[in-house]
Chain A
Amino acid sequence: MTQAASLDPASLDPDAAQRAIEYCYEQGWSDGLPLVPATRPLVDQFLAHTSRDPGEVIGTLEQVGRGCTVYLAAVNAAMAGCRPEYFPVVLAAFGALMAERAARGGGWQSTSGPAPLIVVNGPVRAELGFNATGGVFGPGFRANATVARAIGLIVRNAFGIHPHVLEQATQGVPGRWSICIAENEEESPWEPFSVGGGVPAGTSAVSATLLRTSEFVDNRHSHHPEDVLWDLADTISRTGAQIFKEASAGVVLCPEHAQMFAGAGYSRAAVQEWLMARCGRLPADLRRAGKGDLSKISPEDEARQAAAGAGEISRTMMSSRQLPVIVAGARNAAISMVVRVFGEWSGTAVPVEVPAEVTAGAPAGARAGTGTR
């Protein structure tokens, strides 16, 4: 694939391209949108951006007896519309996902139809054009859109998980295969998210998990950080999202909220602790929703608390790992997103490989991306 600026429209054959796209549809390879037909020369450009062996198995789904190699990931990334230089990010994203128990288990087949959340940190964001600011949840940015789509195509094609067949989503999730956000490190008051995942600041890395949905919290007129924290806690604590006694969530803070918290002295950990102490519901609330068995408070303790006039909530999060905090979006309104993590997120960050040497034929954008990241 070459830079758009170098393409001469007169040399292109759109009719042949359309036929090739239709062929891909006929094979059942598409997620519903047109695919870029992958050819050996194109896929070779992808493979030139990694030192890994094309035959290396980078993920297996034991329960369906299928696996994905570096080569198959490259074919699917090419079909998704990635540029070859995005490929190390695709590999890191897939590696991060496959490190999660939820994705190795039944996540891709689940009735909940969860969507990957891919978080990109480090210099690779600017080098490859990942959006970290306005409209960070998409669409509109090729790197964000196609890296996320590549994961979806790998699941469909390499793992063979098709909707209505091995994929049994009841309704699915808006934005499935399209949620790839870059952290807005420049406007975040805290260290990059990937640092908590084990990769030092300044090194490009990808973290990933599965989400059951994303829900906005619009709070742009409060002057007190605790007002905003209560607003977040209310969304995090809704009963509909709770299916076990504990439930992970996540918060993608807009820069304005993050800066407000930091300005009042809150570290990321302090935000997590504040929310963890207050997220959950009273046993009576859970009972009203037919979920009384999810309460961690015994009937005796509940009665004792009621007698003392101080009912306590059944807390849903006991570890900061159950409440990752990321900063992304534009600094133009105080709107943050609660993300509903499927299962548990280890938070592990996977470094993005910097190829020692990219072949001479690679586009300029890729060469600029080599060296120290």
Chain B
Amino acid sequence: MPNAILDPTGQADRTSAGPAFTLARRRPGLRGARVGLLVNTKRNADLLLEEVGRLLMKEQGAGSVMARTKLAFAQPVTEDMLTELTTGCDVVVTGVGDCGSCSASAVTDGIMLEGRGIPAAVICSDAFGASADAIASLRGAPGYRYLTTPHPVAVLTPDEVRDRARQLVGDIVSLLASGGASDGTADGEAAA
């Protein structure tokens, strides 16, 4: 009997991961909601999220906006900042996943927020879907829904960034509030 070929990934004999991922319960709408903006420091992310926050207040009746800026875009949000967001906000919008590492970590942030009961809308550039999808699977949330905006974002003028925010805001509302989520994800199950 020949020797077995060893697996170099450490994943082959891994037993199934922890409990199944569930989305945070959605509110009926965003009226009065405390909106958190998690800015990842990629160019134009601050302006994009700021404009999204403004539109959510103006058009959806959101109660307040609180912006926080990540210290390292390549890494998931720190525990301190996560706690601050989960205690101070009802929903969070984060982005922009506009590079290899930050697209993955933005999706990770969204999944961590959902795990703590906070609906999250993650915005990635559409060039990084593969990275975003892969990290969602790795984090136990295959099919986790995030929003995309056409690549590139970094070169846009301020007016173009505000246009992007305008284009995204409807989907953001759909993703964060059950009034707009018609595919059953609002009941707490991750889309497949």
Contact = CB atoms under 8 A, between A and B. Distances in A.
A210 to B, nearest CB: 13
A166 B135 contact: yes
B117 to A, nearest CB: 21
A250 interface: no
Interface in B75-120: 75-76, 99-105, 108
Nearest to B139: A65
Contacts of B100: 106, 109-111, 166-169
B103 A168 contact: yes
A53 interface: no
Interface string B3-27: 1111111110000000000000000
A157 B8 contact: yes
Q: Is the interface of B mostly helix, strand, loop or mixed?
A: loop
B14 to A, nearest CB: 11
Interface size class of B (residues with CB under 8 A): 20 to 34
A75 interface: yes
A63 B74 contact: yes
Given A29-B9, A62-B76, A110-B100, A166 B4 contact: no
Contact of B73 (A43, A106, A160): A106
A38 B101 contact: no
A158 B135 contact: no
A239 interface: no
Contacts of A39: 3-6
Contact of B6 (A16, A75, A105, A109): A75
B8 A63 contact: no
Interface size class of A (residues with CB under 8 A): 35 or more
B74 A38 contact: no
B74 A23 contact: no
A40 B8 contact: no
Nearest to A23: B5
A76 B8 contact: yes
A41 interface: yes
Interface string A351-366: 0000000000000000
B131 A165 contact: yes
A232 B146 CA distance: 46
B92 to A, nearest CB: 18
Nearest to A154: B8
Interface string B152-183: 00000000000000000000000000000000
B130 A164 contact: yes
B191 interface: no
B6 A153 contact: no
Contacts of B139: 65
Nearest to A40: B3
A79 interface: yes
B26 to A, nearest CB: 26
Nearest to B5: A37
A189 to B, nearest CB: 39
A128 to B, nearest CB: 22
A40 B135 contact: no
Contacts of A164: 130
Contact of B74 (A16, A40, A106): A106
A41 B134 CA distance: 34
Nearest to A27: B7
Given A72-B10, A75-B8, A62 B101 contact: no
A282 B11 CA distance: 52
Contacts of B8: 29, 38, 72, 75-76, 79, 153, 157-158
Contacts of A105: 72, 74-75, 101
A158 B10 CA distance: 6
B5 A24 contact: yes
A166 B7 contact: no
Nearest to B6: A38
A173 interface: no
Contacts of B104: 63-64, 109, 166
A41 B103 CA distance: 41
A2 B24 CA distance: 57
Interface string A144-183: 0000000001000110100011111100000000000000
Given A158-B8, A166-B134, A63 B105 contact: yes
Interface string A165-206: 111110000000000000000000000000000000000000
A63 B108 contact: yes
Contacts of A320: none
Given A158-B10, A166-B104, A109 B5 contact: no
A166 B103 CA distance: 9
6 contacts: A29-B9, A41-B3, A66-B10, A106-B101, A166-B131, A168-B128
Interface of B: 2-11, 72-76, 99-105, 108, 128, 130-131, 134-135, 138-139
Q: Which 4 residue pairs spanning A and B have beta carbons closest together?
A: A106-B101, A106-B74, A168-B100, A39-B3
Given A39-B5, A168-B131, 11 more contacts: A16-B2, A40-B3, A63-B135, A66-B10, A66-B138, A72-B10, A75-B8, A110-B99, A165-B131, A167-B100, A168-B128
